[in-house]
Amino acid sequence: MVGIGPDTEAPVGQMRLADFDLKDRVFIVTGGARGLGLSLAEALVETGGNVYCFDREPQADERWQETARRAAKWGGSLHYRQQDVQDTDGLNRTIAEIADKHHRLDGVVAAAGVQQLCPAAEYSREDVARMMDINYTGVMMTAASAARQMFKYKCHGSMCLIASMSGSVANKGLISPVYNSSKAAVIQLARNLAMEWSPIRPDGTGGIRVNCISPGHILTPMVRKNFEEVPGLQQKWESENMMGRLAETSEFKGAALFLLSNASSFMTGNNLVIDGGHTSW
């Protein structure tokens, strides 16, 4: 069968921006305690989504609490679950509990990731394994666990994997070979999951679109730590893109909403690069 198309019963023309409406849909955002993950969760909540943020921290930060307080006004809801993506058994249980509670799961934003600055010749096997376990295997296991629940409830939805422009180019001034390699793997993973899950099968399962966002340099807590470790790095990065500045996390909300909503119903297996023109010259 073909992949799912636009809903002919949707109130397009009767409601403002109907294609972006996420009312009653259920989503999971990993790495959602702060930074980019939280901003992307906000985009889904603001359009009516019920969003569960996963992170390994015991509690989300103050900004998350403020977002949760505003969620009801927007028509959505925001929830926090302490869940490390390296704990596959726990991940499976938590995702299954959420899907069973709502009898549905409509999508995932896989934003959990870590960085480590280290010359390639000095990496230990353990450090490589840890970074790949979080940045690649954690994304794979999150997507697979969510897909099983989407198959179970025959939900046709969407997944957004957070890669990086670093998966396509080397970052000038930043020695991070394993991080960059892990993000390249995520881009390729999205293509393969899209190929496998986008068609709707005879039993009604499938219809899951999978895409990537590849951000450029963003002012996140992880990046600010890089700036502390490498003097002059912020100024160098600002000079390397066409806009002469770094991104704020809020500048990726529209892209996430586009990919998780009906607005992108014919888009799958793609990598959306948002980098201020960094890779265009």
Q: What is the pLDDT of residue 9?
A: 62
Across 120-154, b (16+ Cβ under 10 Å) vs e yields: eeeeeeeebeebbbbbbbbbbbbbebbbebbbebe
Structure token digits, residue 183: 């993000």
Domains, the chain, ordered by start: 19-216+248-273 (3.40.50.720)
Residue 14, exposed/middle/buried by CB under 10 A (0-12, 13-18, 19+)? Answer: exposed
Provide the sign of the torsion angle of the four alpha carbons 169, 170, 171, 172, taken in this order: negative
Predicted model pTM = 0.93
- CB half-sphere exposure, 51, CA atoms < 13 A: 34
Q: What is the pLDDT of residue 174?
A: 79
- CB half-sphere exposure, 98, CA atoms < 13 A: 29
* Identified catalytic residue from 183, 225, 236, 253: 183
**What are the distances in angstroms from CA 81 to CA 7, 120, 142, 146, 237?**
32, 35, 14, 15, 34
Q: How far apart are CA 53 and CA 97, in angstroms?
A: 14
* Identified catalytic residue from 80, 136, 179, 253: 179
φ, ψ dihedrals at 183, nearest 5°: -75, -35
Q: How far apart are CA 111 and CA 212, in angstroms?
A: 10
Structure token digits, residue 206: 């499938």
Contact (Cβ atoms closer than 8 angstroms) between residue 213 and residue 163: yes
- Residues 6+ away with beta carbon under 8 Å from 187: 161, 163, 167, 168, 212, 214, 271
Q: Scanning the structure block, which residue is given the tokens 């609490």?
A: 65
What SS3 state is found at 3? Answer: coil
Q: What is the pLDDT along the chain (281 residues), one digit of tens a residue?
A: 445 566 666 555 566 788 999 999 999 999 999 999 999 999 999 999 999 999 999 988 888 888 888 887 888 999 999 999 999 999 999 999 999 999 999 999 999 999 998 999 999 999 999 999 999 999 999 999 999 999 999 999 999 999 999 999 998 777 999 999 999 999 999 999 999 999 999 999 999 999 999 999 999 877 888 888 888 889 988 999 999 999 999 999 999 999 999 999 999 999 999 999 999 99
Q: What is the pLDDT of residue 4?
A: 56
Structure token digits, residue 135: 């940045």
Q: What is the pLDDT of residue 5?
A: 62
Q: What is the pLDDT of residue 13?
A: 56
Annotated catalytic residue 179 = yes
